[in-house]
Each structure stands twice: as C-alpha cells, then as structure tokens.
C-alpha cells in the first residue's frame, strides 16, 4: 500500500470562489473525472458510507478520496485500505472547504486517471453548505439518530444538495424517527432532491445509491 499523503491546505482570499469552482468543474469534465462533495454532521456515517461504496465499485472504476479534517488521518487510512487512492487534507481549524482549497487537494491527490473522486467535507451542517467546491454533485448524509427535524434546524444544506442519504436505517425502530415526515420537510426546501435510505452497516438500500453513482459517472463527460 502506498504511503498516505497528508496535506495542509491554505485559503486564498484573493481568488473568487465561484470562478475557481467553475474552472475546476470544467477541467474535471474534460479529463473525465466525476467529483462528489459529501457533507454531514460528525458521526452520521460519511466515512463508512464511502468505504462501502468503494468496496462495491472499486473493480468497476478508479476511485479517489480527499478526506478533510481539522487533524488526524484516521479516515483517509480507512478509505485507502478499502481500495481507493486517498489524501488527508488538514484545514488548520477551518470548518469548511471552498473551491480553492478543493483545487489544492485535487492537485495533491492527482486525479487524471480517476473516474470518481469523493470529497469528504468537514463534519458540520452549517459552514460547508455555503461554499461551492467545484463538485458535480453535492450529497448530504443524515443519520437516523440525529432526528427527522434536522431540515427545520439547518435548512440551507438540505435546500442545496442534490442527494440526501439517510443512514443507519437498521436502527430506525429504536428512535422516534419518521421517514415520511423527514421527506416532507426536505421536499419543502428542495423538491428535486433524491433521497436514498440506507444502512452502511448492513448494506440495506445501498444498491440504489450505487446505481445512481454508476449512472452519474457514465455521463461525466
């Protein structure tokens, strides 16, 4: 296994985020690399969902992951062991990634030969929602133990994302969580959102998410 690269990213306040994001998307499309930005609160299962996805798809496509954290390299090692090319991004205390930071990560990871790249954003439902990273799609993960009222408390992120993964459905009977109520609340904010209830632990519901990824990567050019 290759040695894990750990890279400390720096924010460049001189560059316009929207401009950098569009340039990044355009360049990734030209080389055939599909970038997905994944956001959630800590403990929702971002890394476990990504690991499950890598294990299921690694024989079909070349996958890379940029793991953003304030510190540590635990998550990057987990996805590397699952079979993806990985880099750990240290944010120096910042609670989000913007397009310039993402671009630095892309350059350090080296994505020219990759079909699919996941950006695992900082665990936070507020800061990451405000920044375009240059990804083709934005995905949020909400876990059942967090409650079905999160869209009421953090409407911006649920109104922005293209896909919502509802994780830990294997534990739904142990919590006061209504899937129908969650969907109703989310669709008031974002009527076109795609919702995938899954269990990263058991694999339940994962096929629909995997098929969506396959379809998106196929049309990436």
Alpha-carbon distances of 192 from 49, 70, 73, 161, 214, rounded to whole Å: 22, 32, 35, 10, 20
Summarize pLDDT for 183-208 with one digit per residue, the tens.
999 999 999 999 999 999 999 999 99
Q: How far apart are CA 42 and CA 28, in angstroms?
A: 28
Residue with tokens 């400390």: 8
Could you give the number of structural domains in the chain? 1
Per-residue pLDDT averaged across 128-149, rounded?
A: 96
Give the domain CATH number at 123: 3.40.50.300
**91 vs 219 pLDDT, higher one:** 219
CB 52 within 8 A of CB 120: no
Query: Model confidence over 47-79: pLDDT tens digits?
Result: 999 999 999 999 999 999 998 875 566 778 888
Q: How many CB atoms lie within 10 A of CB 40?
A: 27
Q: Give the model's confidence band at 9: pLDDT under 50 very low, under 70 low, under 90 confident, else very high.
A: low
The Cα 82–Cα 69 span in angstroms is 19
Q: Sign of torsion, CA 126 130 134 135?
A: positive
Predicted model pTM = 0.91
Q: What is the pLDDT of residues 107-135, one digit of tens each?
A: 999 999 999 999 999 888 998 898 999 99
Say how many residues make up the chain. 221
Task: List Cβ neighbours of 167 (8 Å cut-off, separation of 6 or more).
Answer: 44, 45, 48, 49, 141, 142, 143, 144, 198, 199, 200
Distance CA 69, CA 95 (A): 9
* Sign of the C-alpha dihedral computed for residues 13, 17, 23 and 24 taken in this order: positive
Higher pLDDT, 125 or 3: 125
Per-residue pLDDT at 27 exceeds 60 = yes
Instruction: Identify the domain containing residue 103 by its residue range.
Output: 5-218
């Amino acid at each position: 296994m290759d040695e894990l690269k750990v890279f400390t990213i720096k924010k460049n306040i001189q560059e316009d985020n929207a401009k950098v994001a569009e340039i990044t998307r355009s360049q990734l499309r030209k080389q055939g690399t599909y970038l997905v930005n994944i956001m959630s609160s800590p403990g929702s299962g971002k890394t476990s969902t990504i690991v499950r996805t890598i294990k299921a798809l690694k024989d079909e496509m070349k996958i890379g992951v940029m793991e953003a954290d304030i510190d540590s390299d635990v998550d990057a090692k987990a996805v590397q062991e699952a079979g993806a090319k990985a880099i750990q991004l240290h944010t120096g205390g910042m609670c989000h990634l913007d397009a310039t930071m993402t671009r630095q990560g892309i350059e350090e990871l080296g994505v020219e030969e990759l079909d699919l790249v996941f950006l695992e954003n900082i665990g936070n439902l507020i800061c990451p929602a405000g920044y375009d990273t240059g990804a083709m799609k934005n995905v949020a993960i909400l876990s059942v133990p967090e409650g079905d009222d999160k869209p009421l408390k953090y409407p911006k992120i649920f109104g922005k994302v293209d896909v919502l993964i509802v994780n830990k459905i294997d534990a739904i009977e142990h919590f006061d969580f209504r899937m129908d109520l969650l969907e109703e609340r989310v669709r008031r904010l974002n009527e076109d959102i795609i919702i995938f209830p899954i269990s990263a632990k058991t694999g339940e519901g994962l096929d629909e998410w995997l098929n969506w990824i396959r379809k998106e990567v196929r049309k990436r050019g």
